[in-house]
Structure 1
Amino acid sequence: MPLDGQIRVNRSGAWHTSEADRRDRTMLESCTVESFTRHLGERFRVYAGQDEPFEIELIQASGLGRESTDSTSGHGSRSAFSLLFRGPAGILLPQRIYRLEHAEMGTFDLFLVPVGPDQSGQRYEAIFT
């Protein structure tokens, strides 16, 4: 699957994304902590604009104990949660949106924030509200 998830701006300045990007966004809007818990210990491929993608491991999925409602998505409410990934020690990604790919979950964009290294590599967090 080509990873052309670029945001496009038309002449009037309005932005739009491809149909695949809309599907990805809808998939993420319906995700819960349980959607990711079953993938703990699994690897996700990260496309960071480099020649070769690399892998990060999902090491934690935790509920944050508060519910959010998104009136614009039509998906109602869900409990907020966080994901913690571990990547290679030699690579430090800056905070931004990255394209991720997983064998079962597919391809989607996720905002990752570096939260510091541990004994095995660099850790990154994503928060869902």
Structure 2
Amino acid sequence: MSGHTPGLPSHAELLAVVGDDFAASDGAGQPLELTLTACSDLRSGGGYMSFSLTLRSADAREQGIFALSHATLGDVEIFLVPSGADASGTEYTASFTSLEA
């Protein structure tokens, strides 16, 4: 059980880069920088595996598909939802669910 969705980095690969920065752009092509601040534990149940990511940026954007680029992981598109904000920026969440292997 790896928690891997085809076309996306695995849970283990994402866990290894917590704290790293990602160059990103929103659906309108506007650039922003995101920092991966957390990768939840891999959960299993009911034939599914799931985990979530928390990312942070100084820039606020609406939910949508973001293109992310990382030096090690390469390029990926994920759906991000704003999940909180304070004076230092906005927090975003991405949730992943896949069938257990």
**Fold shared by both chains (TM-score > 0.5):** yes
Structure 2 residue 13 is matched with structure 1 residue 35: yes
The one of 65, 70, 83 equivalent to 1:102 is 70
Structure 2 matches for 1:77-96, cutoff 5 A?
79-88=49-58, 91-96=59-64
Aligned ranges 1:57-72 → 2 under 5 Å: 57-63=35-41, 65-67=43-45
> Higher RCO, 1 or 2 (CA under 8 Å, sep at least 6)?
2
Identify, as 1 or 2, the structure richer in strand: 2
Q: Give, as a single letter, the amino acid of the residue that structure 2 aligns with 1:66.
A: S
Gaps of 5+ in 2: none
| Percentage of matched positions with identical amino acids | 35
Q: 1:64 to 1:118 in 2, by over 3 A?
A: farther
Q: Secondary structure at the match of 1:92?
A: coil
Instruction: Tell me what 2:89 maps to.
Output: 121
The answer to whether the 8 Å contact 2:60/2:89 transfers is: no
Is residue 98–residue 110 contact of structure 1 (8 Å, CA) maintained in 2?
yes
Structure 1 residue 63, shift from structure 2 partner: 2.1
Q: Give the unaligned 5+ runs of structure 1.
A: 1-24, 70-76
**Who wins on radius of gyration, i.e. which is larger?**
1
SS at match of 2:77: strand
TM-score, length basis structure 1? 0.62
Distance 1:47 1:31, change over 3 A: same
Structure 1 pair 68–111 and aligned structure 2 pair: CA distance change class (3 A): farther
Shift of 1:64: 5.3
**Structure 2: distance between partners of 1:46 and 1:63:** 24
